[in-house]
C-alpha cells in the first residue's frame, strides 16, 4: 500500500524556493540531496530545535504531540482539540493533501492562535524589519510570512468554524537576558 505524499510545510517552502526541487524530493535515485550530509545545516537545525524548546517555556502546561507518524499525530491533535482550552506543541493538521505541524497551537473556545517559532532574532526598533527602504516587503522576511500563511490556510480549511490569529515568535535582540552564567 502506498502512503500518502502530503504537501507539507517543508515541501511548500521548497517549492517556493525551486519547483524542480519539489518534484525530486523523496526520489534519491533521481536526485541526490547534498544538504543531508551538510554538518553546518545540521548544526543550524539543532539551534532551531533549541529555540523551539525554549519557546515551550512561554506556554506553561502545553501538551506535545510526539512522533513522526502522521496518522497518530493527527489523531492525538484532534483528541487534544476536544478540550475547551489547550496549548499544543507540534500540533498535526491536515486538509486534503496538505499537512502541517504547528510549533504552538493555542485553543480557547472557538479561537485558535497559531504561533510559528523562528530562530531568527529581531529588533522592534528596526523600522525596516518587515519593510525595506523602498517600502516593499523585506525579501528576507518573506519566507517566514509565506510559511505562516500556508499554515493558516491549512488550519482554516481544516477547522472552518474557528477564528484564527497568527504570530511569529522570534528572539527580541533589544532585550538583555535575565539569566547570568556562573
pLDDT tens-digit readout, 133-167: 788 888 888 888 999 999 999 999 999 999 999 99
Q: What is the pLDDT of residues 70-125, one digit of tens each?
A: 999 999 999 999 999 999 999 999 999 999 999 999 999 999 999 999 888 888 88
Q: What is the pLDDT of residue 1?
A: 42
Beta strands of the chain (E only): which ranges? 7-8, 63-64, 85-95, 98-108, 111-122, 163-172
Q: Are 158 and 97 in contact (CB under 8 A)?
A: no
Asked whether residue 20 is assigned to any structural domain, the reply reads: no
Q: What is the pLDDT of residue 93?
A: 96
Asked whether residue 47 is assigned to any structural domain, the reply reads: yes
Asked whether residue 17 is assigned to any structural domain, the reply reads: no
- Domain hosting residue 160, numbered range: 34-172
Asked whether residue 156 is assigned to any structural domain, the reply reads: yes
Asked whether residue 143 is assigned to any structural domain, the reply reads: yes
Taken in order 51, 173, 11, 78, is the CA torsion positive or negative? Answer: positive
Q: What is the pLDDT of residues 18-31, one digit of tens each?
A: 666 666 666 666 56
Asked whether residue 23 is assigned to any structural domain, the reply reads: no
Q: Residues 6 or more apart from 46 whose CB is under 8 A from it? A: none
Total of domains in the chain: 1
What angle in degrees, to the nearest 10, is found between the helix axes of 9-17 and 142-158?
A: 140
Asked whether residue 138 is assigned to any structural domain, the reply reads: yes
> 53 falls in which pLDDT band (50, 70, 90)?
confident
Q: What is the pLDDT of residue 106?
A: 97
> Beta partners for 53?
none
Pseudo-torsion of CA 83, 78, 60, 89, nearest 10°? -170
Q: Are 148 and 114 in contact (CB under 8 A)?
A: yes
pLDDT at residue 3 above 60? no
Q: What is the pLDDT of residue 32?
A: 62
Asked whether residue 62 is assigned to any structural domain, the reply reads: yes
Amino acid at each position: 500500500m502506498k502512503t500518502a505524499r502530503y504537501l507539507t510545510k517543508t515541501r511548500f517552502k521548497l517549492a517556493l524556493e525551486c519547483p524542480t526541487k519539489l518534484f525530486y524530493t523523496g526520489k534519491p535515485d533521481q536526485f541526490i540531496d547534498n544538504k543531508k550530509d551538510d554538518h553546518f545545516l545540521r548544526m543550524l537545525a539543532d539551534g532551531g530545535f533549541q529555540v523551539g524548546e525554549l519557546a515551550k517555556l512561554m506556554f506553561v502546561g502545553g501538551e506535545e504531540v510526539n512522533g513522526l507518524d502522521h496518522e497518530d499525530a493527527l489523531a492525538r491533535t484532534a483528541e487534544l482539540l476536544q478540550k475547551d482550552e489547550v496549548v499544543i506543541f507540534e500540533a498535526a493538521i491536515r486538509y486534503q493533501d496538505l499537512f502541517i505541524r504547528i510549533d504552538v497551537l493555542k485553543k480557547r473556545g472557538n479561537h485558535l492562535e497559531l504561533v510559528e517559532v523562528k530562530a531568527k532574532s529581531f529588533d522592534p526598533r528596526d523600522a525596516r524589519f518587515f519593510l525595506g527602504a523602498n517600502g516593499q516587503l523585506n525579501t528576507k522576511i518573506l519566507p517566514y510570512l509565506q510559511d505562516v500563511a500556508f499554515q493558516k490556510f491549512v488550519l482554516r480549511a481544516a477547522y472552518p468554524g474557528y477564528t484564527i490569529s497568527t504570530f511569529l515568535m522570534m528572539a527580541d535582540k533589544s532585550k538583555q537576558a535575565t539569566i547570568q552564567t556562573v
